[in-house]
Amino acid sequence: MAQFAEAHFFLIESVVKIIVVLFVLLTAVAYVVWLERKVVARIQSRWGPYWVGPHGLLQPLADGLKFLFKEDIVVQDADKVIYWMAPFLAFTLAFLSIAVIPFGGSFQLFGHTIQLQITDLNVGLLYVFAVTSLGVYSIALAGWSANSKYPLFGGLRSSAQMISYELSLGLGVVGVLMISGTLSLRGVVTPQVGFWHIAGIPFLPRWNVFRQPLGFLVYFIAAIAETNRIPFDLPEGETELVGGFHTEYSSFKFAMFFIAEYANMVTVSCLATLLFFGGWLGPLFGPYWLRVILPVIWFCLKVFCFLFFYIWMRGTLPRFRYDQLMAFGWKVLLPLGFLNVLGTSFVIAWLHS
């Protein structure tokens, strides 16, 4: 009987968590789009969305409605099955990785410990990398199946780019994994608790970014390339490829690519926060309920900073040329990643001897 109740509780807990996380993520994605339009507008001395709701706050809703009611055009010579599959693939894979992202500590409810995470996989990081690498397929297939030249270019570019930068992405986090000795995203945060002290005064939180600055740099640059954002948005490249892999997509299928891109942005920002910036760690005070909520707030704030930086970068940097992109990925980022792994392992070996 007790076992039965336990199973029930687990089921309900999981479903509630999934619903809440999905809802928050979808809303966040919608408002990252709004934020992006606003911030880029500010950089260009414009106002951005303004008319739909106060300060254009209902703009994402209007955009969503517009996408829903647009005509769904399918190219005549498209490979129909793959053409339909690609956006769904992109959408699904973008949302799968959020399952292992912890966004807070844990709390007690009805005698149960509830972790603020859908599931604490012990290979969480591997899982995220696996799922996000599958995302290449959606873009490559979208580019291929439309049977049109610009999408094909976009698809080819993206497969080359994402495969190249995935190596650096992996190498960037290896240093962190060596320090924490776990692939669980919850376990990665644990060694970052506390402060470094100088003469008894805490001056720096023990975040991995201070131990692995090079690793962070490599990870973050590779992550931007992985999410196809400016300055690495060659698969889309409006000015040269008319939108790249999603040129021939319209209506809600296009919206799915769009949402997937921003969901990926949120995912890599979450990952950067967890791996390098102490995840949900931050000052705690007040009563019990506040101590449960505050970590979530710290986590969201850190992720927000990353998202803001993404947008800021979009407003600042021009796009890479293709050969520059490849040369940078293979000749600079990858050696730097190796160097970081090598250096970290030497330091760890030296500390342990």
Partner 1 sequence: MKNIGIRDDTVRPGRSSGGRRRNAVFYFDLSEALPYTERMAKMLREVTGTVGALAKGFAVTFKTMFRPAVTENYPAEPVHFEGRYRGLHVLRRDENGLEKCVACFLCAAACPANCIYIEAAENTSDHRISAAERYAKVYNIDYNRCIFCGYCVEACPCDAITHGHGFEIASYDMNGLVYRKEQLLEKPPAAAAKP
Half-sphere exposure in the Cβ direction for 231 (13 Å, CA): 15
For strand 112-115 and strand 106-109, is the pairing parallel, antiparallel, or unpaired? antiparallel
Q: Per rule CB under 8 A, is residue 204 in the interface with partner 1? A: no
Count of chain residues binding partner 1 (CB under 8 A): 20
Q: How far is the CB of 321 from partner 1 (least distance, A)?
A: 9
Q: Per rule CB under 8 A, is residue 73 in the interface with partner 1? A: no
* Nearest alpha carbon to residue 156 among 222, 92, 241, 248: 241
By CB under 8 A, name the one of 332, 342, 345, 346 that touches partner 1.
332
Q: Which stretch binds partner 1 (CB under 8 A): 34-42, 58-66, 102-110, 262-270?
A: 34-42
Q: Per rule CB under 8 A, is residue 61 in the interface with partner 1? A: no
Q: Per rule CB under 8 A, is residue 14 in the interface with partner 1? A: no
CA gap 341, 349 in Å, rounded: 12
Helix (H, G, I), strand (E, B) or coil at 100: helix
Cα angle 56-59-60, degrees, rounded to a multiple of 5: 140
CA gap 314, 295 in Å, rounded: 29
Site for partner 1 in 40-59 (CB under 8 A): 41-47, 50
Q: Per rule CB under 8 A, is residue 327 in the interface with partner 1? A: yes
Site for partner 1 in 133-152 (CB under 8 A): none
Q: Which stretch binds partner 1 (CB under 8 A): 52-60, 66-74, 197-205, 310-318?
A: 310-318
**Residue 9: count of CB within 10 angstroms of its CB:** 15
Structure tokens that stand for 192 in this block: 């970052």
Phi, psi of 287 (to 5 degrees): -70, 175
Q: Per rule CB under 8 A, is residue 346 in the interface with partner 1? A: no
Q: Per rule CB under 8 A, is residue 249 in the interface with partner 1? A: no
Q: How far is the CB of 42 from partner 1 (least distance, A)?
A: 4
Residues that bind partner 1 (CB under 8 A): 39, 41-47, 50, 312-313, 315-317, 323-324, 327-328, 331-332
